[in-house]
Amino acid sequence: MAERVSCSMIIDIHTHIYTEETYQTYLSKTKGRELKVLVMAWHEQNLEDLLSFISTKNNLFLVGTVNIESNINEQLEKLEKLFREKKIFGIKLYPGYQYFYPSDEKVYPTADLCQKYNKPLIFHSGTTYSVDKKALFKYAHPIYIDELAVKFPKCKIIISHFGFPYQLETATVIYKNENVFTEISGTIERLSSKEDARDILNQYIKDLSRVFSYYPEVKKKVMFGTDYSGEDTSLCEVAPYIKLVERVFRKDEQKNVFYSLAENLFFKE
Ligand SMILES: [Zn+2]
């Protein structure tokens, strides 16, 4: 049973809802809440297919992506058009999977574009999931966001997954740079037993509480996210993330995490 949440409005800033079936199972897990859901495009995916699926749902919002290994300018031209048409609400990059640092010059034109449209630039950060095990952690370490954040102080940057397991490093980068934010998604996967599920939630609560005792200000720069990817994947949890927010953040802080900050970063004109 999902627990009642104090804030009935939720913006989930990190999902991979690509099909009707995934959309329906997600809805069944978030019943009774007013939702806005951001869907992360993947660089190997057909963007047109994704755009046409998203256009059939009024609460799904797409975040585009750039395949850093192919023609960047050509892709940015398309993305700029989509920003203008309000069909995308940010751009996500995948450094660990595509072997580049967030501080690499190759990223600059994308940061420029996000800055121009005042929309977030999101980095997959921290641990990587790849079937062929070829993704490299060094590129996904949150420390490399720092340099880009200093270079583009007007570009809003989001470190995904709280940089897990580098949460303290993530908070250090966020604390130092006004334009850097994070979200809590992806760390809690489906586990086989209730005990394991309880243990990981409790550990995550402890880890974030530790981070916030060093950096209380960072609490204001955290958003809700699940990384929901469908029931046929291990990333299919919603309720534990809601519980996490309720346990780590005070009541008067929760609205910002569940809703207000994301509303500001993604949807404010
Ligand atoms: Zn994801």
In the reported structure, the alpha carbon of residue 186 is separated from the centroid of ligand 1 by a whole-number distance in angstroms of 7
Whole-number Å distance, alpha carbon 16 to ligand 1 midpoint, is 6
Where exactly are the structural domains of the chain?
58-267
Distance 18 CA to ligand 1 centre (A): 12
Compute φ and ψ for 61, nearest 5 degrees.
-135, 130
**What percentage of residues in the chain have a pLDDT greater than 70?**
97
At 54, which helix (H) or strand (E)? Answer: helix 47-54
Please give the average per-residue pLDDT across 246-263, as a whole number. 97
Give 226 Cα–ligand 1 centroid separation in angstroms: 8
Say if residue 131's pLDDT is above 90. Answer: no
Measured in Å, residue 199 CA sits from the centre of ligand 1 at 22
Compute the distance between CA of residue 26 and CA of residue 195 in angstroms, rounded to an integer: 24
pLDDT at residue 147, rounded to an integer: 97
C-alpha 2 – ligand 1 centre gap (Å)? 22
Torsion on CA atoms 92, 98, 101, 106, rounded to nearest 10? -70
- Ligand 1 centre and the CA of 26: distance in Å? 15
Q: How confident is the model at residue 2 (pLDDT cuts 50, 70, 90)?
A: very low
* Rounded distance from Cα 98 to ligand 1 centre (Å): 15
* pLDDT tier, 7 (very low <50, low <70, confident <90, very high otherwise): low
- Each residue's pLDDT tens digit, 205-229: 999 999 999 999 999 999 999 999 9
Pairwise pLDDT comparison (2 vs 250), residue with the higher score: 250
Where in 22-160 does DSSP place strands (E)?
34-40, 60-65, 91-93, 121-123, 157-159
Q: How far is the CA of 251 from the centre of ligand 1 (A)?
A: 27
Question: What's the pLDDT score for residue 106?
Answer: 96
Q: Is the pLDDT of residue 1 over 80?
A: no
Average pLDDT, the chain: 93
Q: What is the domain class of 58-267 according to CATH?
A: alpha beta
SS3 92: strand
Residue 94 CA, ligand 1 centroid: distance in Å: 10
pLDDT band at residue 110 under the 50/70/90 scheme: very high
What is the distance in A from the centroid of ligand 1 to the CA of 227?
A: 5
- Min mean pLDDT across 98-107, 129-138, 140-149, 161-170 is at 129-138
Say which amino acid occupies 224.
F
Structure-block tokens of residue 197 = 């599920």
Residue 51 burial (CB < 10 Å; 0-12/13-18/19+)?
middle
- What local confidence, expressed as pLDDT, does residue 269 receive? 78
CB atoms within 10 A of CB 4: 9
Per residue in 38-71, pLDDT (tens digit) is: 999 987 888 999 999 999 999 999 999 999 999 9
**pLDDT at residue 133 in the model:** 78
Q: How far apart are CA 154 and CA 252, in angstroms?
A: 28
Distance CA 38, CA 54 (A): 10
Predicted TM-score (pTM) of this structure: 0.95
CA of 262 to the centre of ligand 1 (A): 16
CA distances from 250 to 107, 170, 185, 219, 264 (A): 37, 21, 19, 10, 20
Q: Which residue has the higher pLDDT, 28 or 191?
A: 28
The predicted-structure confidence for 137-163, as pLDDT tens digits, reads as follows: 899 999 999 999 999 999 999 999 999
Report the separation in Å between the CA atom of 183 and the middle of ligand 1, taken as the mean of its atom positions: 11
**Predicted local distance difference test score (pLDDT) of residue 129:** 72
Q: What is the structure's pLDDT at 43?
A: 79
